[in-house]
Structure 1
Amino acid sequence: MNYSPLQKARYEYQPKLPLILQNDINNIEVCYGNATQSVADQDKIKEMFPNTYGMKTISFKKGSSKAKKDGQVVGVILSGGQAPGGHNVITGLYDALKKSNPNNVLLGFKGGPSGLLDDDYIEFTDEFINEYRNTGGFDIIGSGRTKLETVEQFKVVAEVAKKHSLNAIVIIGGDDSNTNAAVLAEYMAATNSGVQVIGCPKTIDGDLKNDVIEVSFGFDTACKTYSELIGNIERDANSAKKYWHFIKVMGRSASHIALECALECQPNICLVGEEVEAKNQSMMDIVKYIADVVEARSAKGLNYGVAIVPEGLIEFIPEVKVLIAEINELLAVHEKDYAVLGTWEDQFNFVISNLTSNSAAVFKNLPVDIQHQLLMDRDPHGNVQVSRIETEKLLITMVAKELKDRGSKAKFSALNHFFGYEGRCAFPSNFDADYCYSLGYNAFLLISNGLTGYMSTVTNLSAGPSNWEAGGIPITKMMNLERRHGEFKPVIRKALVELDGKPFKYFEAHRKEWAENTCFTFPGAIQYYGPAEVCDITTRTLAIEQGN
């Protein structure tokens, strides 16, 4: 196989581990912290997870290990959307297993959770796994979005585990995937299967985050990749001086990516969905704000600019959020009735007749293509697929109309972009390569110490790998109840942009200057080589949060 010079170099990169994980595995001791409780709905979550609720936090220190050292057979899956660094979680897990005992085995189940159900797997070897070190993508075993949520599924997984003598399963995924991990861990504990379940925090959206999980893996690389592209467009806009670029970036349920890219690139406009919701801003409020910036810049002879739009913006606009919630509920409850409707007219009338009067009015006033997009097939959780809603085009159309209605003399020629898949499978940055390898390595220590229902955690991330701290957090600590498919279910609470947090406050303090003037910065490509202060820095979000 032919490799690019970059591929060859990345294969040879040696990920850095926290000091505690650099010790001989036999000299690492587990330390128990405080008991935990869920972030909300404590009584209900405790009732649902009687065997795995209230467990203590975990950290590691140098000492005498009581961990199991041999006879380990571990299964691993990648679940959900891709995120840079997933391969390094697996290689870190593999290396720790083999360092503990060369006879330990790691099985990779293919295609996500369905690989466990179908018993479709590969046994990792040095030769095979070395082809994927420090690379992007999930192609080592593939991924999938099958949900593990029924007793029948759990029984199949238990049988597959028994067949292969698995003592643990590692689920690498986001909030929904790790919710599945928590439910599976509870089942395995309740049935005394002897199978442990450990999760690893993945999602480029950055919404799997709390006081212990400082950042989910892939966020750093994705934001740097998008920021490079946004910087390129800013340079083009500053050169051509005739286009407004509306750039939608990933982030369905939170605006972390949009905010980080704004901190990196200093665009003229960045919309933050959480602020829109908090200020009860309507669609027209947003449109008028953008039009005001366009006019202010035009008055200075600047008929160009860059606006960043989070993928999930439309769900944060109060009247649209209510509309989407009603549509989700309607299509969940009346799925069969809706499925038999053959024409758009019938579908439209069915929806309008079942919405509240306010939501019906909002739906009628949306462009027809947006109406269609709101009624497209739901995702596995029963929610609208917001990545397919062309919010950036909707804003361009509405801003152009607003300027025309004002009789504005501002020149407004706009182009739209969506940066999504461009960032999901990039070569992981040094930060993500190190972080992910540490998460996988650490996951083995949780397994070898007999723990289940935990998520692998590495903290103190802005201080550099040698100062990182390794441990684990019970997954139930992050859970609450949310309405899915028309009923309440336990899920990991998504972390939103904190409007009183330091990163947003920094953005808020500078956005007027960035809006009216051209303050673009050009981050360039992710730096793999050079001084550590260039190559290994973390995100601006994390640095600001931790005062570095």
Structure 2
Amino acid sequence: MEKSVFQQVRDAFTPVLPVGLRTAVGIKEGEATTSVADQEVIKKMFPNTYGMPVVEFVEGEERGTDPINVGVILSGGQAPGGHNVITGLFDTIKKINPHSRLFGFLLGPGGLVDHKYIEITETYINDFRNTGGFDMIGSGRTKLEKEDQFEKGYEILKYLNIKALVIIGGDDSNTNACVLAEYYKMKNYPVQVIGCPKTIDGDLKCEQIEASFGFDTATKVYSELIGNIERDCNSSRKYWHFVKLMGRSASHIALECALQCHPNLCLISEEVEAKDLSLNDIVEDICRMVKYRSDRGMNYGVVLIPEGLIEFIPAIGRLIDELNDLLALHGKDYKDLSPMEQKQYILEHLSEENLKTFETLPDDVARQLSLDRDPHGNVQVSLIETERLLSRMVDAKLQAWKKEGKFNGSFNSIHHFFGYEGRCAAPSNFDANYCYALGASAAHLIANGKTGYMAVVRNTTAKPADWKAGGVPITSLFNVERRNGKMKPVIRKALVDLNGRPFKELVEHRDEWSKETSFVYPGPVQYWGPSELCDRTTKTLALERGGKA
């Protein structure tokens, strides 16, 4: 492939490994672990992989190791740094034994089941070092949950003599990795399964997993774009910009971008839910802010909105639950009716409380909530233009206030949704180093005979050389939740902690930011230059680990 000058220069970047991964590697094991909740249930579900210790890699003695064939899968949505996980894995298994081989399964877990793969060679992999995207082997969203999938996968693993499989993905993908590890262990199949924590949403983290890879890069890219919008906003001084950001299940991206850019308002889904705010409550708050600024000659501003906000509004969440039940039980009765007849059918079958909420929604949003679903039965929140919904409702209320003599200013809105712009960006220095270390950690977990583990790297607010690499048993992250009507083991999503330092930092400043124009323009993501500019961690990570914003 033809390389840009940027890519050519970026090729020269050499990721820094933690000291414990640089030479001969030993392993230090901690105490036995337990799941975060539902211990007896999880222990019964995973008798072969439950209770294993957290491990840390330390300097050790050189030892001979037989060559090993390893498989790797990219699962779910893209995140910056995925290629560096694979390069770290490749380089490390080759360093341990030059005759080891790496096979990539194409287009996600489906490639394992359908036996579609390539061998990853030195020549092939060198084109992807420090690059964004998942185009090295592609990704997919096939879930590995069924026994026939496990057996089909084992057929190709056995054929290729693959003894270890690394699954790079989010919470669902790592849950599937643990289920697969348990199954192969139960069957005495000689295949280890290792996971790696990936998601730009930032909701796969805990004490052992300080950050999911991709979050650092994506939030820097979004913050640059938001800063550009803020500068334009402060230049023309005539528009309100409503910016929706990725983050269906948690508001970490919106929060980090707010800490970077100081918008006039950043909605946090978790706070909306905790305070039981209605859609009208949110609209009222925005209108009061618009009026305050307008009264002082500032008819402009920036509002950040997390992608999943609509589901966190308790009244709408309760409506969605009832609509889900209605769709499951009676969807066939009204799916083929005209839009008007569909709406009438739904109105006749909703409870009084949810009926009131449904009637306040614009027709297009009501339809999306009541009928449109993704393959897993979830509301497709990314398709709901929450940023337009809010600005329309704000405009309508301000027009009503104008008729009542309560508002004399102007309100003109512009809308943005930043999602794909950040998912495949070239990884920041942090993510390039972090992901390479994750790949190396996965290789050493394999070399030490581990299965059912997730590769982890800790102490990440220090210099990369001082990071601590190791692994955590995936079962230790589990609880049991209802999914599609069944109780299943899942990795608990990490939501924004309303008692945590990042959120408190926002609360401390948001009244000032809403009234004043306190915009910050972070500028483009930096890959080289002064360390204080290009090697900063996210403000979220710094605050969570006891540092300064």
- Residue 306 of structure 2 is matched in structure 1 by 310
Alignment partner of 1:443: what SS? helix
For 1:144, the equivalent position in structure 2 comes to 140
Matches within 5 A, 1:89-108: 89-108=85-104
Aligned to 2:374: 379
Q: Residues 184 and 335 of structure 1: is their aligned pair in 2 closer, same or farther, counting only changes over 3 Å? A: farther
Corresponding position of 2:363: 368
Q: Which runs of structure 1 show a deviation greater than 4 angstroms over 4 or more consecutive aligned residues?
A: 332-339
Q: Does 1:84 align with 2:84?
A: no
Tell me what 1:64 maps to: 61
Is 2:262 the counterpart of 1:266?
Answer: yes
Q: 1:421 to 1:71 in 2, by over 3 A?
A: same
Per the alignment, do residues 65 and 483 of structure 1 end up closer, same or farther by CA in structure 2, a change over 3 Å counting? Answer: farther
User: What is the distance in 2 between the residues matched to 1:415 and 1:313?
Assistant: 19
Whether 1:482 and 2:477 are equivalent positions in the alignment is no
Task: Provide the TM-score with structure 2 as the length reference.
Answer: 0.96
Distance 1:221 1:17 in 2: 19
- Measure the CA separation in 2 of the matches of 1:433 and 1:417: 28
Match 1:212 to one of 196, 208, 216: 208
| Native 8 Å contact 1:323 1:359 kept in 2 | yes
Equivalent of 1:32 in 18, 29, 32 = 29
Correspondence for 1:399 among 384, 394, 397:
394
In 1, Cα distance between equivalents of 2:332 and 2:444: 48
Instruction: Provide the rounded CA distance (Å) in 2 between the counterparts of 1:349 and 1:164.
Output: 57
Q: Report how far residue 487 of structure 1 moved.
A: 2.0
How far the C-alpha of 1:287 sits from its partner, in A, is 0.6
By how many angstroms is 1:383 displaced?
A: 1.3
Counterpart code for 1:252? R
- Cα displacement string for residues 455-474 of structure 1 (whole angstroms, at most 9, x for unaligned residues): 00000111120110001111
Shift of 1:336: 5.1
CA distance in 1, matches of 2:344, 2:44: 42
* SS at 1:462 equivalent: coil
Q: Return the letter of the residue paired with 1:512.
A: D
Q: 2:277 aligns to what SS in structure 1?
A: coil
On the 8 A contact 1:116/1:160 being kept in 2, the answer is: yes
What is the DSSP-based 3-state SS (H/G/I as helix, E as strand, rest coil) of the residue aligned with 1:203?
A: coil
User: Which stretch has the larger CA shift, 69-78 or 426-435?
Assistant: 69-78
Check if 1:279 corresponds to 2:278: no
Q: Tell me: CA distance 1:152–1:307, structure 2 relative to 1, closer, same or farther (3 Å).
A: same
With over 3 angstroms needed to count, the CA separation of the structure-2 counterparts of 1:469 and 1:342, relative to structure 1, is same
Which residue in the other structure is 2:128 paired with?
A: 132
Match of 2:353 in 1: 358
Which whole-Å CA distance do the structure 2 matches of 1:441 and 1:358 have between them?
54
Equivalences for 1:136-535 in 2 at 5 Å? 136-333=132-329, 341-407=336-402, 408-535=407-534
Distance (Å, rounded) in 1 between the aligned partners of 2:194 and 2:383:
32
1:333 and 1:47 mapped to 2: Cα distance? Answer: 33
* 1:74 counterpart residue number: 70
Q: Which residue of 1 aligns with 2:115?
A: 119
Alpha-carbon deviation of 1:48?
1.4
Query: Which ranges in structure 2 are unaligned for 5 or more consecutive residues?
Result: none
AA paired with 2:95?
K
Q: Aligned to 1:410, what secondary structure does the other structure show? A: coil
Larger CA deviation: 33-42 vs 185-194: 33-42
CA contact (8 A) 1:209 1:495 kept: yes
Shift of 1:44: 1.7
Amino acid in the other structure paired with 1:285:
D
Contact preservation (8 Å) 2:316, 2:357: yes
Distance in structure 2 (CA, Å) of the matches to 1:472 and 1:342: 53
- AA aligned opposite 1:28: V
Listed as ranges, the gaps of 5+ residues in structure 1 are none
Which residue identity does 1:53 align to in structure 2?
Answer: Y
TM-score (norm 1): 0.97
Using the aligned pairs only, state the percent identity.
59
Using the TM superposition, give the Cα deviation of residue 2 of structure 1 relative to its aligned residue in structure 2, in angstroms. Answer: 2.6
Residues 36 and 55 of structure 1 are in contact (CA less than 8 Å); yes or no, is this contact kept in structure 2? yes
Please tell me whether the aligned partners of residues 21 and 59 of structure 2 are also in contact (alpha carbons under 8 angstroms).
Answer: no
- 2:52 corresponds, among 50, 55, 76, to 55
SS in 2 for 1:463: coil
Alignment partners' CA distance in 1, 2:93 and 2:389:
51
List per-residue Cα deviations over 1:250-288 (Å, max 9, x = no partner): 000000000000000000000000111111111111111
Q: 1:246–1:415: 8 Å Cα contact kept in structure 2?
A: yes
The letter of the residue matching 2:342 is Q
On the 8 A contact 1:172/1:200 being kept in 2, the answer is yes
Counterpart amino acid of residue 256 in structure 2: E
Could you tell me how far apart the structure 2 residues matched to 1:11 and 1:329 are?
52
- What SS is found at the alignment partner of 1:433? helix
Structure 2 Cα separation of the partners of residues 338 and 28 of structure 1 = 62
**Aligned-residue offset at 1:102:** 1.1
Moved more, 120-129 or 327-336: 327-336
